């Protein structure tokens, strides 16, 4: 019996490696001789670096960078020395979790620190940079990140713009003479599932600005400022990517990555699956077990169980989900390669209890699944 265990993290409870370990313990109780292959996963959001490093024997590195509102933050990033690949979660440097609720300000928050992490990767000799761009606090069109990499954004007086998206209204000139030349030799991949354009009613400001602290009036101002930035970028770079899917990701960082770095977008779960070698692990497996904190119809939008099931389906391997909770319309996933789904709780309990007891509950549920599987196999 060969089982691949490929879960995402359970938010506020266990990281993906912890989930995989607990499931493996439960399976081993019933199948002591089974080959259990653990592939901790992520979908490009929180936990991406951690999951990839756990699976690939990579290195966790840290750098002091400028946070979204200017304070210094100590940000982690991942390094895979064998392939000279850097994995950067922009949330580490420019994430919403770094800004208290009462201080969120989409007008002045900046991606400068994310650009500093890219520069650290270049200093390490990166040939490929994977940017996971979920959870941003910013709405600056990626301007700050580009400034950190040598792009000069100047106003009519020739002064450098202040941080943040609103300041882009004052942009009069883009100078590329000091951009880091190493960028031209590096492959950039964006791990994201957002397909919004930069501007307009479905753009970065309108859709994501309010959760970052923007009022309705500020949303309009920011949308105009990003459009102004895009006009200048189109003139400076001889291409206009503002309407391309994904340009509105992470407050417009997707736009800057496409325009200045020629980055390619990939669904986050596909990027992680490639790095951890999921397809290779699955092809000879008898069963795949995946999971996430909440399993529902939203999982269809590129979350880990959906991505894992797609790969397993290509190899004809059944997939079972263990989730913290089964949400509305989770059965829709049964048409996409999921054979069955089970919730963690064994009875009435609070969310806090479920989180604290997750290792035991995962072990028990995995053991139950193995027992049913074993019984069914005997009946065949």
The answer to whether residues 303 and 233 belong to one domain is: no
User: Do 178 and 220 belong together in one domain?
Assistant: yes
**Quick one: 111 and 147 in the same domain?**
yes
| Number of compact structural domains in the chain | 2
Same-domain status, 104 and 71: yes
Closest CA to 124 of 40, 51, 58, 192: 58
**Residue pointed to by tokens 């959906």:** 306
Q: Could you tell me if 59 and 113 lie in one domain?
A: yes
Verify that 253 and 314 share a domain, yes or no.
no
Q: Can you say whether the dihedral through the CA atoms of 77, 7, 298, 365 is positive or negative?
A: negative
pLDDT confidence band for 348 (50 / 70 / 90) = confident
- CA separation for the pair 318, 376 (Å, rounded): 14
In a domain, 272, yes or no: no
pLDDT of residue 378: 80
- The pLDDT score that the predictor gives to residue 132 is 93
Examine residue 83 and state whether it is found in any structural domain, yes or no. Answer: yes
Entry pTM: 0.85
Structure tokens at 80: 């895979």
Final residue of a domain: which of 243, 266, 289? 266
Domain with 234, as residue range(s), is 48-266
Q: Which of 90, 321, 53, 106 is nearest to 194 (CA)?
A: 90
- 162 and 177 housed in the same domain: yes
Single out the residue in 247, 266, 285 at which a domain terminates.
266
Residue 271 resides in a domain:
no
Let me know whether 81 and 184 are in one domain.
yes
Residues 125 and 226 in one domain: yes
d(CA 121, CA 362) in angstroms, rounded, equals 37
CA distance 173 to 157: 10
* Residue 370, in any domain of the structure: yes
Query: Has residue 235 been placed in a domain?
Result: yes
pLDDT digits (tens, 9 = 90+) for 43-101: 887 788 988 898 888 999 999 999 999 999 999 999 999 999 999 999 999 999 999 98
Cβ-contact 30, 370 below 8 angstroms: yes
Number of neighbouring beta carbons within 10 Å of residue 379: 5
Write out pLDDT tens, residues 290-299: 999 888 887 8
> Which CATH number do you get for residue 362?
3.40.50.10350
CB 244, CB 197: distance < 8 Å: yes
User: 304: which residues sit within 8 A by CB, 6+ positions away?
Assistant: 6, 7, 8, 41, 42, 43, 269, 290, 292
Tell me, yes or no, whether 197 and 55 share the same domain: yes
In angstroms, the Cα distances linking 282 to 39, 233, 306, 316 are 10, 44, 15, 9
Is the domain of 261 the same as that of 125?
Answer: yes
Instruction: Find the CATH number of the domain harbouring 92.
Output: 3.90.1510.10
What is the pLDDT averaged over residues 11-40? 94
Residue 172: inside a domain: yes
Q: In the prediction, which pLDDT does 379 show? A: 67
pLDDT in tens, 230-242: 999 999 999 999 9
| pLDDT, tens digit (0-9, with 9 covering 90-100), for 157-196 | 999 999 999 999 999 999 999 999 999 999 999 998 778 9
Domain end, chosen from 219, 245, 266, is at 266
* Beta bridge pairs of residue 221: none
pLDDT above 90 (res 303): no
Q: Is 361 found in the same domain as 245?
A: no
With 0-12 CB in 10 A as exposed, 13-18 as middle and 19+ as buried, what is 288?
A: buried
pLDDT of residue 380: 56
Residue 73 lies in a domain: yes
Q: What is the pLDDT of residues 98-129, one digit of tens each?
A: 999 899 999 999 999 999 999 999 999 999 99
């Amino acid at each position: 019996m060969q089982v691949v265990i490929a879960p995402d993290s359970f938010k506020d409870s266990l990281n993906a490696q912890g989930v995989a370990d607990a499931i493996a313990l439960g399976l081993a109780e019933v199948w002591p001789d089974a080959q259990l292959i653990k592939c901790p996963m992520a979908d490009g959001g929180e936990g991406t670096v951690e999951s990839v490093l756990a699976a690939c024997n990579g290195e966790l590195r840290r750098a002091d960078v400028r946070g979204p509102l200017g304070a210094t933050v100590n940000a982690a990033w991942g390094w895979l020395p064998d392939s000279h690949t850097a994995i950067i979660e922009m949330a580490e440097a420019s994430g919403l979790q770094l800004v208290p609720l009462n201080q969120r300000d989409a007008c002045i928050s900046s991606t400068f620190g994310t650009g500093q992490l890219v520069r650290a990767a270049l200093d390490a000799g990166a040939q490929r940079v994977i940017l996971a761009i979920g959870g941003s606090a910013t709405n600056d069109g990626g301007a700050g990140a580009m400034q950190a990499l040598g792009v000069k954004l100047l106003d009519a007086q020739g002064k450098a713009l202040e941080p943040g998206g609103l300041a882009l209204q004052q942009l009069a000139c883009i100078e590329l003479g000091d951009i880091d030349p190493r960028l031209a030799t590096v492959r950039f991949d964006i791990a994201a599932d957002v397909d919004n354009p930069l501007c307009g009613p479905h753009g970065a400001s309108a859709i994501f600005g309010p959760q970052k602290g923007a009022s309705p009036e500020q949303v309009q101002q920011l949308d105009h400022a990003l459009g102004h930035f895009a006009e200048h970028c189109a003139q400076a770079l001889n291409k206009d990517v503002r309407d391309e899917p994904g340009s509105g990701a992470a407050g417009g960082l997707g736009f800057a990555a496409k325009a200045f770095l020629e980055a390619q977008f990939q669904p986050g779960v596909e990027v992680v699956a490639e790095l951890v070698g999921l397809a290779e692990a699955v092809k000879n497996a008898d069963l795949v077990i995946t999971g996430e904190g909440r399993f529902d119809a939203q999982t269809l939008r590129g979350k880990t169980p959906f991505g894992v099931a797609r790969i397993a389906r290509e190899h004809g391997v059944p997939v079972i989900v263990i989730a913290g909770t089964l949400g509305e319309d989770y059965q829709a996933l049964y048409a996409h390669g999921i054979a069955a789904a089970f919730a963690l709780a064994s009875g009435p309990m609070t969310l806090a209890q479920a989180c604290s007891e997750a290792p035991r509950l995962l072990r028990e549920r995995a053991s139950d699944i193995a027992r049913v599987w074993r019984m069914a196999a005997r009946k065949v």
